Amino acid sequence: MNSLIQDAHKAGERVGLKSDKIVINGGKPLRGRIEVRGAKNLATKAMVAALLAESPSVLKDVPDISDVGVVTGMLEAYGVSVTKTAEGELTFDPSNVERAHFAKIDALAGSSRIPILFCGPLLHRLGEALIPDLGGCRIGDRPIDFHMDALRAFGAVVDKSYEGIRLTAPNGLTGAEIELPYPSVGATEQVLLTAVRAKGVTELKNAAIEPEIMDLIAILQKMGAIINVEPNRVIFIEGVEKLEGYNHRALFDRNEAASWASAALATEGDIFVGGAKQAELMNFLNIFRKVGGAFDIHEDGIRFYHPGGDLKPVVVETDVHPGFMTDWQQPLIVALTKAQGISVVHETVYENRFGFTDALIEMGADIVVHKDGLESVTRRVPRRPLEQAAVITGPTKLHGADIRVPDLRGGFSHLIAALTAEGQSTISNVGIISRGYEHFIDKLRALGADFVYEG
């Protein structure tokens, strides 16, 4: 089995998926209501933060996704007891933190990038961290140099071993001045999770300020940390000696909300996404409206629908917050294959995030990927070193095909494509989708999709 198939299998198994294949009969609009819960990209980090506390933490609205299973496994391997105390609520008790058997941690590797965020907390708790090779989605090289440079600045010693990466802190961890070369989400979280208990003050420049990071800062503040977010991407963290557990409801998953919104638009449907909020989606909502989608903001969620008429092409650039998120482009591109004219999506965050378009092209879409990006007079941001561009010419009719999910967001976009296509599609490796989309099979059923899933 190649590693992608293996990852898909393991990920699906973690959330109880029995089959790795779904057969979709396209052409039926999705209609109905679904709920989104806590964001994958917050909940998993909040779980790591629990390791820093002296007392138990409670996290609410935890999604039932495979990546949460990976972090649960890792916490348990380090002696944190993880208990489901109510529906969607996990309690973490870190009173017996201990060294883990590397084999246990390694067995979880290859399926998530979260293990790297254990470095700071483990150095504080145990004086050592052994981190396996990292997985995550195959959407570029995804190096960890910013993480390692930051940890070194705190005083950590980093050694590569045959097992993975071994970090120690012979003289403890001390606050540092750190400037990230790029406002990386993960590296910012790494600095926050390390600086809160380091000796002295840390100044982080060029920090990421995504809503999930602000929610992590809120959690750390509840735990007793002192963190000041200043203008111009500067964050000051004053280290404290002790942190207590938190009680927190996770921020909703704006990536999942945007994905279902795109599904509503592409299938000419009408989906009420319970739990979605406007503020964290403003940029997405603008593009959604420009493409021709409609939405109504309610107190308990957002209704996304196709109001009739033609969809319109757009030019979008992905960016760090407050820009248009890279995770939103893949589901949206399926809707853009239905728009009247030429759309351009510039991907500026990752160097390889258009791999999923191969399957759309096979299904009949007219998409040309420019691997080195495109010059364009309509650009909002200057061209970036990593950039690629996808030019989508519509409208095109998609037809069914046999496709294999390559990564999380690409996989969801394949689901949407199959739902809009004429005829039948078979999608394999759907376990990958369960890394970040809670109960997506049940949600498809609730929205009236026509499919066969054995499991």
Binding-site ranges for ligand EPU (CB under 6 A): 40-41, 113, 137, 140-147, 182, 184-187, 208, 210, 255, 325-327, 349-350, 386, 408-409, 436
Taking the complex as a whole, the smallest distance from the CB of residue 241 to ligand EPU amounts, in Å, to: 28
Taking the complex as a whole, the smallest distance from the CB of residue 136 to ligand EPU amounts, in Å, to: 7
Inter-residue contact 399 to 318 (CB < 8 Å)? no
Nearer to ligand EPU, 240 or 386 (CB): 386
Nearer to ligand EPU, 268 or 387 (CB): 387
Taking the complex as a whole, the smallest distance from the CB of residue 310 to ligand EPU amounts, in Å, to: 30
Nearer to ligand EPU, 188 or 396 (CB): 188
Which residue's Cβ has the minimum distance to ligand EPU? 186
Catalytic residues, which ones? 137
Taking the complex as a whole, the smallest distance from the CB of residue 105 to ligand EPU amounts, in Å, to: 17
Taken in order 118, 119, 120, 124, is the CA torsion positive or negative? positive
Nearer to ligand EPU, 146 or 440 (CB): 146
Nearer to ligand EPU, 328 or 453 (CB): 328
Nearer to ligand EPU, 17 or 150 (CB): 150
Taking the complex as a whole, the smallest distance from the CB of residue 138 to ligand EPU amounts, in Å, to: 10
Nearer to ligand EPU, 203 or 387 (CB): 387
Taking the complex as a whole, the smallest distance from the CB of residue 142 to ligand EPU amounts, in Å, to: 5
Q: How far is residue 341's CA from residue 210's CA, in Å, rounded to a whole number?
A: 32
Give the largest Cα separation in the chain, rounded.
65
Taking the complex as a whole, the smallest distance from the CB of residue 186 to ligand EPU amounts, in Å, to: 3
